[in-house]
Amino acid sequence: MLVVQALAFGGLVIYCLETWKLRKASETQVKVSQDLITAATDQVEGLAKPCLTLESDLRDASDAIMGIGVVGNTVAAGKTGDDFFVRNIGNGVALNVTFDIIYTGEYPDRFPKRKGRYLQNVLAGEKVNMLTPMNPYRSGEFIVLFHYQSIGGRAYESKITMNGFVLTDFRFGQLLPDDPTRLR
């Protein structure tokens, strides 16, 4: 009888070890599956990622050359007037678009802070009038911040630096939930 009990106990131990190995293998498989789902979601987001920038009608390029940029590009000034547009140069629709215009020059009291303006959704490749007069921003340094979401719900920011009406810098990135002011 003792031999039968010892064999049963040994079988129970082997069964427990094999069950534990199966549980560990299934946990690993679940982790790999979650990583694959995240990668697939990132690929879909990459196909429908919006990217907003400012655009204006250019003057005659020979009259508007301001200098040579850092990467050898020619910096040209836009026309003088209220003719700035928002263009979505990305592949997806930009939803819930807000923008802030922040003066960064040496006289901060010269321009009131104009934050949190709303703009309609911007489809991929679409050009939308800003409906904000840009004449007050003709001189001085400004940052235009666009905050928007993709169709997948991810938040993005475009940061455009202007000196007068010349666009001098452009930065684009995803806003992470734990750092909502990443590009500021």
The tens place of each residue's pLDDT in the chain, 184 residues long, gives: 888 888 888 899 999 999 999 999 999 999 999 999 888 888 888 788 999 998 876 655 555 555 555 555 555 554 545 567 899 999 899 999 988 888 887 776 777 666 678 887 899 889 888 777 666 677 778 888 899 999 888 899 999 998 877 788 889 988 877 665 554 4
Containing structural domain, residue 23: 1-47
User: Does residue 104 share a domain with residue 140?
Assistant: yes
* Model pLDDT, residue 2: 84
User: Does residue 118 share a domain with residue 71?
Assistant: yes
Domain count for the chain, please give it: 2
Looking at the domain assignment, is residue 181 inside a domain?
Answer: no
User: Does residue 155 share a domain with residue 65?
Assistant: yes
Amino acid at 157: E
User: Does residue 58 share a domain with residue 17?
Assistant: no
User: Does residue 97 share a domain with residue 10?
Assistant: no
CATH number at residue 137: 2.60.40
* Model pLDDT, residue 68: 59
User: Does residue 78 share a domain with residue 42?
Assistant: no
* Model pLDDT, residue 46: 78
User: Does residue 75 share a domain with residue 129?
Assistant: yes
Q: What pLDDT digit, counting tens, does each position of 79-130 carry?
A: 545 567 899 999 899 999 988 888 887 776 777 666 678 887 899 889 888 7
Structure tokens at 72: 């050898």
Residues above pLDDT 70, as percent of the chain: 74
Q: Residue 78's beta-bridge partner residues?
A: 58
